[in-house]
Amino acid sequence: MGSQYNYPEILTWLETKAKQEYGPNFHFIDDDMENITKLIAYFLKDERTTSRFGIDLSKGILLSGPVGSGKTSLMTIMKYITQKENKFFIRTCRDISFEFIKEGYEIIHRYSRGSYSQSQYKNYCFDDLGVESNLKYYGNECNVMAEIILSRYDLFISRKVITHITTNLSASEIETMYGNRVRSRLRAMLNLIAFDKTTQDKR
């Protein structure tokens, strides 16, 4: 039995929405259609299609690929098809690192456990993992994103809170920058959708 969704129709509609947001030159490339379809199926919670692609709906998305492959814009336009319970907020890892310099360790709590006034944990997409660097707060060096990812993993296990990530890094580069423990946690909590390294720069 096929999917209940008309993907060619959805792709056309979504491209139109993207043009409104990013300008008339925005368009989907044929070579990217499988990955875009995977994203759409995931955010529509289309069990038949995600099962065909081996995507686990209980996990988040790790969208990887070279600079300019359109990862951020694709995650941004997924808001048009994301259901309310799957809504997520996009924050760049670079901005989070700057927040850490300014506000300190409270930032790690903000993006993991949430503030004490929040009764509900948020789903986040951490954009461009790897462009931030280890930063110091009052002389103490901290790998901010590594700490946040480890905390988000605990939330994923205990409360099924979803995390998405975009990155230019390969799996081995992630391990080098963040350690084997983080790489292992990412594998457990995220579905990998990867653009080929030869994907053209779309900017």
Identify the segments of the chain with pLDDT beneath 70: 1-3, 114-120, 133-142, 198-203
For 203, half-sphere exposure in the C-beta direction (CA atoms, 13 angstrom radius) is 8
Locate the domains of the chain by residue range.
56-194
pLDDT (tens digit per residue) in 37-53: 999 999 999 999 999 99
C-alpha dist (Å) from residue 100 to 133, 137, 142, 193: 11, 7, 9, 29
Residue 87, classed as helix, strand or coil, is coil
pTM of the model: 0.90
- Give 51-74 pLDDT, tens digit per residue: 999 999 999 999 999 988 899 999
Fold entry, domain 56-194: Rossmann fold (3.40.50)
Task: Dump pLDDT digits (tens) for 124-134.
Answer: 999 999 987 65
Strand order in the sheet with 124-129: 89-92, 124-129, 163-167, 60-64, 190-194
Residues 6+ apart with CB under 8 A from 56: 50, 191
For every residue of 23-42, which 3-state class applies, written as one string? CCCCCCCHHHHHHHHHHHHH
Separation between Cα atoms, residue 122 and residue 161, nearest integer Å: 7
Question: At 85, is the secondary structure helix, strand, or coil?
Answer: helix
Q: What gap in Å lies between CA 93 and CA 85, rounded to an integer?
A: 24
